[in-house]
Amino acid sequence: MPHATLLYSTEGHVARITLDRPDRLNALNNTLWKELREALEQAEKDDEVRIVVLKGAGPSFCAGEDLGAEETGEVSPWDPRRRSYLADLIGIEERRMNFWRYLFNYPKDTVAQVHGYCLGFGCNLQMCCGTTIAAEDALFGDPGVRMGLATSMPLWSWRVGPRRAKDLLLTGRYIDAREAERIGLVTQVVAPGEIEGVVDVWCKALLTVGGLGSVEGRLGGLGGSDGSAGWMGTSRQALEASGLAEAWRLAAYMRYLSTIQRRGFAPGEFNFWQARDAKGVRAALRQRDAPYRPYFPLGLKD
CATH of the domain at 104: 3.90.226.10
Distance CA 215, CA 117 (A): 33
- HSE of 46 in the Cβ direction (CA atoms, 13 Å)? 20
Mean pLDDT of the chain: 84
Judge whether 298 lies within some domain: no
3-state secondary structure at position 53: strand
Strands (E), the chain: 6-11, 14-19, 51-56, 109-114, 117-119, 131-135, 139-141, 175-176, 188-190
Q: What is the pTM of this model?
A: 0.85
Judge whether 59 lies within some domain: yes
pLDDT at 126: 98
Q: Is the pLDDT of residue 235 over 50?
A: yes
Q: Is the pLDDT of residue 91 over 50?
A: yes
Q: Indicate the number of domains in the chain.
A: 1
Distance CA 302, CA 293 (A): 9
Residue numbers of the domain that contains 98 = 6-289
Greatest mean pLDDT among 91-105, 206-220, 260-274: 91-105
Judge whether 223 lies within some domain: yes
For the segment 130-146, the average pLDDT, to the nearest whole number, is: 94
| Percent of the chain whose pLDDT exceeds 90 | 50
For the segment 68-85, the average pLDDT, to the nearest whole number, is: 59
Max Cα-Cα span within the chain: 69
Judge whether 171 lies within some domain: yes
Closest CA relative to residue 34, chosen from 65, 8, 3:
3
Judge whether 115 lies within some domain: yes
AA letter at 300? L
pLDDT at 81: 63
Of residues 252 and 38, more confidently modeled: 38
Judge whether 1 lies within some domain: no
Judge whether 66 lies within some domain: yes
Judge whether 300 lies within some domain: no
pLDDT at 78: 56
* H-type alpha helices, 53-194: 85-104, 121-128, 155-160, 162-171, 177-183
